[in-house]
A and B are shown apart, each in its own frame.
Chain A
């Protein structure tokens, strides 16, 4: 099916999220929509999917104009969407999930799952998905869950499939498999809109690329364009994708983790007998696919999560059983993975957020009183130094863009006397300009002789920042390797194969 968007404009108050966007996706084409976070990709797809109504413009399918007042209309017209966060019920089987909302029923309204099973099997066989219709979704690996989402869309006869950042949760191998599936679907005539900000994947799979910046189409490109060219189109200026750093100057042992085991929320070992050392002046990156214990490891390091066995030492200081506040006082800076949930108070002003973990004494407090003069002065300094783009220090943090929010968190954590810096997904959902800036700051911290631990699922980031890379798989460290290790080897390690 040929999809055509003509002059789509969507405004939110004074903000124009989509500014007369034109997009043509030919039948059987893989069309990549490339743009930074906040460029308007998701808004455009939500318009296509009937979640938003466009202020101007029209949607044409095979030349016929459609108006969607909800996802139901879009689905009926043949548009399927696979969200970044899966919309599956974990305790239901694959077949049950696939028919949810559209259940085949027998007499007296009983559920007829045989029809559903047959449908799943048929689609699964046709495209080589290898999915058992009776498997419980929660038992499936993430890649397979994503295929269930695709089956869900195809079972409703989707002719246009929208994949929203589909590779964020996948291992490199699973990503390759997904790309195979995308090619297979395209060959059978399905049109695919592939939303991403990862240049490498765009180059590998797309037939055509449309680049969006600040709500406008800035151009079309062919996958043969260089990554640097695509990146500068995306950002609007020349971008340096490399992280520049000198060879590390190793100091004393900064962080020593010995046989650390952490039990998770479901009483399973989420961190399993992990040991590593980070020296001052070195960046250790912890790589791995999301959900393999990295989050819990970071939380255990900063005292947010109890430790079952093993020890954590900061220099000579044992912080295994320390509270969060004790860990902070010991000089550990921490950028949490989910800044909106754990890193910031959205309703608080920037100034208030910059003192979030420093309210117990000077310079932010005088006795039981907030030292407003100092607070405001320091806030202004940090806003300047960290290039936080804001109307002022009293702006609520929730009103800032993702990149600027992250700069607030980084500014707060780095503006203390540190003995260790831990950053979890430091640039997730952050614009390219801010990524450069944050990476620079992390390297500066390392060069100042501090031990740095970076936890990231982005291989590019890991490879760029790290001096050594530890790969985690199912709670264990599969191996700690040099930063020059090839992506293929890292990918295999992320799937559990020892180096």
Chain B
């Protein structure tokens, strides 16, 4: 890939990350508006009422309003607090704990992808790294017997190490051969996914003891399961604590440490970094490994947070959702935390919505719209009439250069 396209990509990233908090919040709001429109147009009552719209327009409007209200109140009940079960505190508070449980791997993976972004790397391979981490962790959790306590720690470390190794491989190929990390990570996604399926299918490897032909693993040994945080009534486990620790580590690494300083330097301007004596290639390698290590914490959540056997779809697309979380969170530690919680809420809320007879797909549309609005800042600015932000010098130069090019 030429340096010109690299620069364009980095410029696009800069544009996205210069997003102000205001614009992010507005983008989230707009995402919900788009979701509301979808709910209105997919609701049967609304469509029925619309047939006699000219005669009684209020019916259509009322039906629309109740469709939106039903949808988002179901999301609230599913993701935060179930007020319909206020009589039973355990059931009423369960949704918020579910949100936290779903958010944990999203936060961890989001941090990983975000780290890549800060160094100017687009790690699309989160899913592959996650699966590779799951493979190692599952090996430890189902095939190795270790004492209580140690077993879990080793399994978590192996999830992180496994993912990090795959990330380091990407960095190594980029540094040594110039292979672009986007291509390499996409390909490794296929390889890791199929490798995991193979391991789950082969009896001599990880297949469920006494299991049939479907690829599935044993449940992790009790000693290797992430313990429940709030007792047996809730499924929320230690994985969430790991994610919070990861947020703090990420913040410390990127904002306080010299390693993160050099990561950011390479991300902003690899030429200046090289001139300043930084080994840029090696930095890419370390950064890819570090990026994948955070994804490994998501792998630990998926592999060790389960109480039953794992299937090859254990990744749940978290490696890809991590990209969205990182973008929405502006690649900062608090941003990724908030974005992860939001998307965790979507995951937790989608089942109750389905129960209500509402399409859970609407949440996917809301998610997609949010990122779309964030990636297209002029759109949000136009809708809310926000002032144009100060352009970075890089952008200004680019604009200048492209307008000069037009004269030819």
Interface residues of A (CB under 8 A from B): 13, 49, 51, 70-71, 75, 81, 83, 87, 100-101, 302, 304, 323-325, 327-329, 334, 336, 340-348, 352, 356-357, 359-360, 364-365, 368-370, 398-399
Q: B277 near A: Cβ within 8 Å?
A: yes
Which residues of B lie under 8 Å from residue A352 when comparing CB positions? 261
Q: Separation in Å of the A390 CB from the closest CB of chain B?
A: 15
In the complex, are the beta carbons of A370 and B265 less than 8 A apart?
A: no
The reply to whether A71 and B407 contact each other, CB–CB distance below 8 Å, is: yes
Bound together, the chains give a CA A56 to CA B195 distance in angstroms of 67
Bound state CA distance, A369 and B261, in angstroms? 10
Q: Which residue of B lies closest to A324 (CB)?
A: B277
Which one, B14, B279, B408, contacts A100 given CB within 8 A?
B408
Q: Shortest Cβ distance from A348 into chain B, in angstroms?
A: 7
Chain B neighbourhood of A101, CB < 8 A: 408
- Cβ-defined contact, A369 with B271, below 8 A: no
A-B contact pairs, 13 of them (CB 8 A): A71-B406, A323-B277, A325-B278, A334-B275, A342-B271, A342-B272, A347-B268, A347-B392, A348-B268, A352-B261, A356-B265, A368-B259, A369-B256
Docked Cα-Cα span, A364 to B276, in Å, equals: 14
With known contacts A341-B272, A352-B261, A346–B394 Cβ distance under 8 A? yes
Whether A357 contacts B277 by the Cβ 8 Å rule is: yes
In the complex the two chains form, is B393's CB within 8 Å of A346's CB?
yes
A304-B406 Cα distance, complex, nearest whole Å: 34
The residues of A that contact B393 with a CB separation of less than 8 Å are: 340, 346, 398-399
Is B201 part of the contact surface with A, judged by Cβ < 8 Å? Answer: no
**Which residues of A sit under 8 angstroms from B261, Cβ to Cβ?**
352, 359, 370
- Contact partner, B276, options A49, A346, A357, A398, Cβ 8 Å: A357
- Other-chain contact of A328, B264, B277, B394, B405 (Cβ < 8 Å): B277
A85 to B, closest residue via Cβ: B404
Shortest distance between the CB of A487 and any CB in chain B (Å)? 32
Among all A-B residue pairs, the 6 with the closest Cβ atoms: A325-B277, A357-B276, A398-B393, A71-B407, A356-B276, A324-B277
Bound Cα distance A329, B276 (Å): 11
Whose C-beta in chain A lies nearest to the C-beta of B407? A71
- A369 CB to closest chain B CB (Å) equals 6
Residues of B within 8 A of A340 (CB): 393
- Known pairs A51-B407, A343-B272, A398-B392; list 6 more (Cβ under 8 Å): A342-B275, A346-B394, A347-B392, A365-B258, A368-B259, A399-B393
Please give the distance in Å from A120's CB to the nearest CB on chain B: 16
- Return the contact of B258 from the options A71, A87, A323, A359 (Cβ within 8 A): A359
B403 interface contact, C-beta 8 A = yes
Within 8 A of A (CB), among B378-401: 390, 392-394
Instruction: Report the minimum CB–CB distance from A224 to chain B (whole Å).
Output: 35
Q: B269 near A368 (CB under 8 angstroms)?
A: no
- Taking a contact as CB atoms under 8 Å apart, the answer to whether A87 and B407 are in contact is yes
- List, in ascending order, chain A residues with CB within 8 A of B277's CB: 323-325, 327-329, 357
Q: Are A304 and B274 in contact (CB under 8 A)?
A: yes
Residues of B within 8 Å of A343, CB to CB, are 272, 275
Question: Judging by beta carbons under 8 Å apart, are B271 and A341 in contact?
Answer: yes
B257 at the interface (CB under 8 A from A): yes
**CB < 8 Å neighbour of A348 from B14, B257, B265, B274:** B265
Asked if B404 and A368 sit within 8 Å, CB to CB, the answer is no
Q: Which residues of A contact B404 (CB under 8 A)?
A: 51, 83, 87
Q: Is the interface of A mostly helix, strand, loop or mixed?
A: loop
Interface status of B262 (Cβ within 8 A of chain A): yes
CA distance A368 to B286 in the complex (A): 15
Q: B residues 227-278 with Cβ under 8 Å of A?
A: 256-259, 261-262, 264-265, 268-269, 271-278
Measured CB to CB, the nearest residue on chain B to A329 is: B277
Q: Which of A81, A325, A345 contacts B272 (CB 8 A)?
A: A345
Q: Which residues of B contact A334 (CB under 8 A)?
A: 275
Query: Which residues of B does A touch, CB under 8 Å?
Result: 14, 256-259, 261-262, 264-265, 268-269, 271-279, 390, 392-394, 403-408
B268 touches A345 (CB 8 A): yes
The docked-state distance in angstroms from the alpha carbon of A327 to that of B277 is 8
Q: Are B257 and A368 in contact (CB under 8 A)?
A: yes
Q: Are B272 and A356 in contact (CB under 8 A)?
A: yes
Task: For residue B187, give the distance in angstroms from its CB to the closest CB of chain A.
Answer: 29
Residues of A within 8 A of B14 (CB): 347
Complex contacts, B279 vs chain A, CB 8 Å = 323, 325
| Most chain B Cβ neighbours within 10 Å, of A325, A348, A359 | A359
Q: Nearest Cβ in chain B — how far from A488, in angstroms?
A: 36
The answer for the CA separation of A297 and B404 in the assembled complex, in Å, is 31
Please name all residues of chain B whose beta carbon is closer than 8 Å to the beta carbon of A365 when the two chains form the complex.
258
Whole-angstrom distance between the Cβ of A152 and the nearest chain B Cβ: 9
Whether B258 lies near A70 (C-beta < 8 A) is no
B272 touches A368 (CB 8 A): no
Centre residue among B258, B273, B279, B392 by max chain A CB count within 10 A: B258
Q: Are A345 and B265 in contact, CB atoms less than 8 angstroms apart?
A: yes
Q: A51-B403, A359-B262, A370-B256 are in contact. Are A304 and B275 (CB under 8 A)?
A: yes
A325→B283 CA distance, assembly (Å):
14
Q: Which residue of B lies closest to A13 (CB)?
A: B390
Task: Name which residue of chain B comes closest to A101, CB basis.
Answer: B408
Q: Is the CB of A370 within 8 A of B257?
A: yes
Chain B residues with CB under 8 A of A359: 258, 261-262
B319 to chain A, nearest CB (A): 28
User: Shortest distance in angstroms between A299's beta carbon and chain B's nearest beta carbon?
Assistant: 9
Contacts of B408 in A (CB 8 A): 87, 100-101
- Complex: how many Å from CA A49 to CA B407? 9
Nearest residue (CB) in B for A336 is B275
Closest to B253 in A: A368
Bound form: Cα–Cα A110–B256 in Å: 62
Which residues does chain B contribute within 8 Å of A341, judged by CB atoms? 269, 271-272
With A101-B408, A341-B269, A398-B393 already in contact, the answer to whether A324 and B262 are too (CB < 8 A) is no
How many Å lie between the Cα of A368 and that of B260 in the bound state? 9
Residue contact A346 to B274, C-beta cutoff 8 Å? no
Nearest residue (CB) in B for A360 is: B258
**Most chain-A CB neighbours within 10 Å: which of B278, B403, B407?**
B407
Tell me the smallest distance from the CB of B199 to a CB of chain A, in Å: 36
Picked from A81, A364, A370, the residue with its CB within 8 Å of the CB of B407 is: A81
In the complex, what residues of A have CB within 8 A of residue B276's CB? 324, 328, 356-357
Residues of chain B within 8 A (CB-CB) of A302 are 275
Give B354 Cβ to nearest chain A Cβ, in Å: 44
Which of B264, B274, B407 makes the CB contact (< 8 A) with A324? Answer: B274
With a CB–CB cut-off of 8 A, which chain B residues contact A51?
403-404, 407
Q: Which residues of B contact A342 (CB under 8 A)?
A: 271-272, 274-275
The smallest beta-carbon distance between B286 and chain A, in angstroms, is 13
What CA separation (Å) do A81 and B408 show in the bound complex? 11
Q: How far is the CA of A325 from the CA of B403 in the complex (A)?
A: 38
